[in-house]
Amino acid sequence: MGIIGSFGDAAGNPVIDRATCTVCGECAGICPVEVLSKRDGEIRIDRSKGFGCIACGQCMMVCPSDSIAVSGRNLSPSDVIGLPSPDRRAAIDPVEALMLSRRSIRRFRDEAVPREAIDRVIAAAATAPMGIPPWEVGITVFHGGAKVQDLSWDIADAYERILKFFEGPVGALFRMMMKKPARQQFRSFILPLGRILVEGKRKGTDYVLYGAPAALLFHASPYGDGADAFIACTYAMLAAEATGLGSCMIGCVPPVLERRKDLMKKHGLPEGHIPKIVLILGYPAVRFRKAIRRPFLSVGDR
């Protein structure tokens, strides 16, 4: 039995072609769970080791003679593809330049984002690492301003309901019972944010998703690590930047959407998935003339 996921609990299944295997040991050397080992002049497979093969596929990617095939846990040997040639890889300078130039974009040109551009961003994001393969993250694509705005208005309405509750007597009691930092954050951020979003909808201004022409909603199955969705979203953001698209992560949607099964169903989330983060996409209507330096809160040696 392997680690449980949306697909079941079967472990990955590594199979070695003994006729072509040169017993170089590369696969055993890279196997993170030591299911593969090199002993007595052969590669051994111990399926009972730890939690079994996690189907990370690294053995297939290092084997010089294509002698190992792993299947299961949503992986098949045909998922192994050629490496990009070294001349296509970006060095630190262009990567750093891309990162420094990226800004959160909240003003968009009135221009549709081609579906192919969105698919390319998604394909790039899917190269991100996850806690344990395979992906337990899914993406719902909102292609077109009308679909994005429909979500925005639903979220603004959901905030209105929350405001009504927390500004009432029972809600006030709830707030008093919160721990100090949560209470302070609620008063200084969540409530004013809700008022801004609700008032925005009343005036016809979208402060939730900023009238973006496209959005990606990253959600996770209950089996995944929630951090995976944020990492995938970060990759998507950088990929978007590299294709000339502006983007902004939107964290104010998931906490309210998560509490509204009706809205999750309406907006196409798979049953049981938990919304984590939204990435709005579109062609920027603003131009930045400077970058910014923002040091971490602390960087200390020990």
Ligand X SMILES: Cc1cc2nc3c(=O)[nH]c(=O)nc-3n(C[C@H](O)[C@H](O)[C@H](O)COP(=O)(O)O)c2cc1C
Give the C-alpha separation, 191 to 14, whole Å: 53
Residue 168 CB burial class (10 angstroms; 0-12, 13-18, ≥19): exposed
For residues 231 to 250, the per-residue mask of contacts with ligand X, x marking binding by CB under 6 A and - elsewhere, is: -----------------xxx
Interacting residues with ligand X between 178 and 237 (CB under 6 A)? none
For 38, phi then psi, to 5°, come to -105, 115
Q: Which residues are CB-neighbours of 277 under 8 A, at least 6 positions away? A: 217, 218, 229, 230, 233, 249, 250, 251, 254
Q: Which stretch binds ligand X (CB under 6 A): 20-28, 102-110, 124-132, 166-174?
A: 102-110
Give the C-alpha separation, 299 to 297, whole Å: 7
Q: Which residues are CB-neighbours of 292 under 8 A, at least 6 positions away? A: none
CB of 237 to ligand X, least distance (A): 9
Give the C-alpha separation, 287 to 285, whole Å: 7
| DSSP-derived secondary structure letter, 134 | S
- Cβ closest to ligand X, residue 99 vs residue 182: 99
CB of 183 to ligand X, least distance (A): 20
Kindly tell me which residue out of 20, 104, 184, 188 binds ligand X, with binding defined by CB under 6 A: 104
**Residue 103 within binding range of ligand X, rule CB under 6 A:** yes
Q: Which residues are CB-neighbours of 238 under 8 A, at least 6 positions away? A: 98, 99, 102, 124
CB of 39 to ligand X, least distance (A): 47
Interacting residues with ligand X between 239 and 298 (CB under 6 A)? 248-252, 277
**Residue 158 within binding range of ligand X, rule CB under 6 A:** no
- Cβ closest to ligand X, residue 106 vs residue 219: 106
CB of 278 to ligand X, least distance (A): 8
Q: Which residue is nearest to ligand X (CB)?
A: 251
- Cβ closest to ligand X, residue 216 vs residue 252: 252
**Interface ranges with ligand X (CB under 6 A):** 103-104, 106, 248-252, 277
